[in-house]
Amino acid sequence: MTLAMLATFAVLAAALGAPGAQSPQKVVFALNWFAVGDHAAYWVALEKGYYRARGLEVELQNSKGSGDSIAKVDTGRADIGLADAAVVIPRIAQGARVKIVGAVFDNTPLNMWMWKSSAIATPKDLEGKTLAAPPGDAQRQLFPAFAKLHGIDASKVTWVTIEPAAKFVTLAEKRVDVVADYLTGLPFYEKALGRENVASMPWHKHGFDTYSMSVIASEKTLNERPRVLRDFVAASYTGWRDVMGDPRAALEIFKRRVPEIDLALIEPNLRLGLELMKTDRYAKHGIGWMDRAKMCATVELINTYMPDMPRRVGCDEVFTNEFLTRIEPPRR
């Protein structure tokens, strides 16, 4: 074999080994909601080519709450998803084959919104009230545990099913007493009700301080596509790093990608979410890293207070840091 032939083979081998020469790996990522500030990082990662640089072709899909996104991942309609950790745990007890591979919010935004004039001040005040949320909403899924924790008679609480986008108008028109929604939704409720009229019930102030919004993957993705999963998570948290470093630039990208968003609402919505990520844990270990003690406490809270759990869930069944690449947040 001549030197020229060897050189030709070397060039071909290098070309075939390059990421761009490989067929892109398709990934369906189930978001937990319609487009809100919590999702900006994934659009930034798309726009800046972070997924493409790792050989990934990513499709973002909206969902109707954590219950919906978990179902998509568990049934193979999505490879990876966003879901509230405290909703993932009972789903695992029920047989869902999914696992948390990274946190998004290091502190929980679980919350309920109401009119200030409602005089709802404590969890017990929810008895006799009408609450609204989609069936897959994290707060609605977890309400039985929240109720048991506070001695609320759940039979005295009425739930109304609504679409995700109808939350703000439903409360504004006083069709219900309470709407379950993340704390990051504050700007939407201030616009709908008037800033002076809005009241909230943050769950972390009432003994329910858990891991929350997280990235989940199916058992199939974990076992059969570990490199794809690791690359997706790294690219996504690189997107989050950029959002944390320059929220305004991230919002410009988000608006280009999703023109229907209202930046006057999405910007404060995004910034509220970023406050939940400015923690010593992330500064020390990287964005998305999960503390085992906190996760085990989250699992124990659900095991203890969520009624009708088919079995107790083990902490290590729920999460792994194995697929995380250290992505440091911008210096504060």
- Domain count within the chain: 2
Within this chain, do residues 133 and 277 fall inside the same structural domain, yes or no? no
Q: Where are the alpha helices (DSSP H) in 161-210?
A: 167-172, 186-193
In this structure, are 248 and 120 located in the same domain?
Answer: no
Residues 125 and 51 in one domain: no
- The answer to whether residue 265 is domain-embedded is yes
- My answer on whether 304 and 214 are in the same domain is yes
The helix (H) or strand (E) run that includes residue 262 is none
Secondary structure of 218-247 in HEC code, one letter for each residue? EHHHHHHCHHHHHHHHHHHHHHHHHHHHCH
- DSSP letter for each residue of 127-142: TT-EEE--TT-HHHHH
- If you write DSSP's letter for every residue of 27-78 in order, what string do you get? EEEE-SSSS-GGGHHHHHHHHTTHHHHTTEEEEEE--SSHHHHHHHHHTTS-
Please state, in angstroms and rounded to a whole number, the distance separating the CA atoms of residues 54 and 230: 10
Q: Are 172 and 193 in contact (CB under 8 A)?
A: yes
Q: Cα-Cα-Cα-Cα dihedral of 194, 255, 260, 85, to 10°?
A: -70
Q: Are residues 148 and 224 in the same domain?
A: no
3-state secondary structure of 320: coil
290 shares a domain with 164 = no
Q: Which of 206, 232, 258 is the last residue of a domain?
A: 206
- C-alpha 241/C-alpha 246 separation (Å) is 9
Q: How far apart are CA 52 and CA 180, in angstroms?
A: 36
Distance CA 286, CA 281 (A): 7
202: containing domain: 112-206
Does 201 share its domain with 223?
A: no
Q: DSSP class of residue 258?
A: S
CA atoms within 13 A on the CB side of 164: 19
How confident is the prediction along the chain (332 residues), in pLDDT tens digits per residue?
444 444 434 433 443 444 445 799 999 999 999 999 999 999 999 999 999 999 999 999 999 999 999 999 999 999 999 999 999 999 999 999 999 999 999 999 999 999 999 999 999 999 999 999 999 898 999 999 999 999 999 999 999 999 998 999 999 999 999 999 999 999 999 999 999 999 999 998 998 989 999 999 999 999 999 999 999 999 999 999 999 999 999 999 999 999 999 999 999 999 999 999 999 999 999 999 999 999 999 999 999 999 889 999 999 999 999 999 999 999 86
Q: Rounded to whole angstroms, how far apart are CA atoms 37 and 119? A: 30
CATH number of the CATH domain containing 240: 3.40.190.10
Biggest distance spanned by C-alpha atoms of the chain? 87
Residue 102: per-residue pLDDT: 98
Residues 264 and 279 in one domain: yes
pLDDT of residue 332: 67
Q: Which two tokens stand for residue 12?
A: 């071909």
Contacts of 226 (CB under 8 A, 6+ apart): 323
**DSSP helix/strand/coil, 268:** helix
Q: Are 37 and 266 in contact (CB under 8 A)?
A: yes
Beta pairing class for 80-84 and 98-103: unpaired
